[in-house]
Structure 1
Amino acid sequence: MDVSDNGYGFTSTDLGRNHNLYAASLSGNLASNPTETMTDDSDEKSTGCLRWKLWATEVSDIHGVKHTSGDGSRLRRFLWTLFVLASFGVLVYQCTQAIQNFIEHHHITKLDVTFKELMPFPTVTICNFNKYRRSAVTPSDMVHVGEALGLVDEERNLLYPELFSEEFIYKYKRLNYDMELKKQFNFTEFTLRTSNQKKDTIIE
């Protein structure tokens, strides 16, 4: 079928042999005449399909897109369309996850666990959570540090009498607070005396 003049201003060609050239010429002519309107909806749809087919088969290098508008069967084009859309959806999802992880500023901490049979002392330090031993605290100590340790209230009363023996409570109540406060209190000596001792912590 030869066409000598179709009203669009391009040279005649064999549409059966060179369909792509026809689509390209038609697309270029429509772009050069933007004021021209087409009243037939089918012509507009066919023009859009021709443009999409030309772009998919000749311009785009996206993998699989050209198969959506190839010369195969409708089922083949439909399946390829599903594959392309699914791939695009996975791409969008992965990009979204990557951006979200970047914004959250995740940190990765790497720990290497090693086992040794021998370690030079004092690589391991043994500490007791209780800094002072209750059994080493005297009633006189309670006058000076009892309130700081949370064992005596502002009225000089024992907050937890159940922690102490009856003998300790008896001696504490018979103390002369004013006289005890006048005595010089050595906090370093108190710490060394009441802290956990090495002989009680290390067995061997």
Structure 2
Amino acid sequence: MGAPEEEAPRPPSDITVYGANCTLHGLSHIFLPGGVTIRRLLWAAAFSSSLSIFLYQVADRVIEYYQYPHVTILDEMDSPVMYFPAITICNYNSYRKSQILRNDIFWMAGLLGVEQGDFDDFMAALGQPTDNSKFFPSKSFNMLEFVQRASHNMDEMLLDCKYRGKDCGPENFTTVSMASFSL
């Protein structure tokens, strides 16, 4: 009779290899080589309950989303005295091109991206005369004076205004220039 042959070690099952290499928290503690232990059962229970709670919450949110819920809350209060409301009127055209002069272009060319040789073309685009022969730039430039002269004023922008059945006008508005804000 021959010597008993030693049993070759069994290779780990595919699920054990997957569990050992998986980064999903808990699986590497559940699928280990060997038999079932209390520790593995506790890990399996914790993993299963966590996964169940997660899937329940996902399903609940998906169902809630497809019900298209909306909440509208409206509080209405009467006020015996109501002040003129704060209104913002913005004109995206910061300056009136009819008020821009060649001297303004001379001093602000760098800000506007206009080369000195393109002054005539720029003035023509603004609808201003392109005659450069009598132009002499000023020795200084006042940006505040330019903004006050060339920006839009409320008298020209406000066509009609009524508040609580009474006429209102530019005197009810305070002009604020964006040029006065620092960013």
TM-score, normalised to structure 1, is 0.31
TM-score, normalised to structure 2, is 0.34
Greater relative contact order (Cα < 8 A, sep 6+): 2
The structure with more helix, counted as a fraction of residues: 1
